[in-house]
């Protein structure tokens, strides 16, 4: 959690462990270092930004961990449509089209995480 939010007393006091960092970027790096994968629950711009960053980092090979959207009540449908449009318009390579694992049930999402294989890293030859 960024120190700024701790100072504002927005941190959860009942956690067994919390990492205090100076910047949001350091927080995302810590999250990526500690996580086995990433699941975005329905949320706001911060959630969308974090998911976009870990997805992008996966594309360029900074990690090989699965990235999932828990699509509760079809919440992420507009983003899934956008991912499809990016691929259709050739702004997203085809091999990354299905990198975002989308499920409406957590058990199904976690099962797909267990069988995830990261696509090969983007190279100049892929352009």
The CATH 3.40.50.450 domain(s) of the chain lie at: 37-119
Show the 3-state SS of 8-40.
CCCCCCCCCCCCCECCHHHHHHHHHHHCCCEEE
Residues 57-67 have pLDDT tens digits of 999 998 999 99
Fold of the CATH domain 37-119:
Rossmann fold (3.40.50)
Order the strands of the 100-103 sheet from edge to edge.
Answer: 38-40, 67-70, 100-103
Mind listing the pLDDT tens digit for each residue in 111-121?
A: 999 999 999 88
CA dist list (Å): 36 to 5, 56, 84, 127:
25, 16, 25, 29
Write the pLDDT tens digit of every residue in 68-111.
999 999 999 999 999 999 999 999 998 898 899 999 999 999 99
User: Between the CA of residue 59 and those of 31, 33, 74, 111, 123, what are the distances in Å?
Assistant: 17, 16, 25, 22, 10
């Amino acid at each position: 959690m960024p120190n700024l939010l701790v100072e504002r007393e927005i941190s959860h006091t009942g956690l067994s462990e919390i990492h205090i960092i100076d910047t949001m970027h350091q927080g995302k790096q810590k999250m990526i270092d500690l996580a086995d994968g990433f699941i975005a629950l329905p949320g706001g711009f911060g959630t969308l930004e974090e998911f976009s960053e870990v997805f992008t980092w996966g594309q360029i090979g900074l990690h090989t961990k699965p990235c999932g959207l828990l699509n509760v009540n079809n919440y992420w449908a507009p983003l899934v449509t956008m991912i499809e449009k990016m691929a259709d318009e050739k702004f997203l390579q085809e091999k990354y089209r299905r990198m975002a694992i989308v499920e409406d049930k957590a058990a199904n999402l976690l099962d797909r995480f267990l069988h995830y294989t990261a696509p090969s890293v983007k190279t100049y030859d892929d352009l």
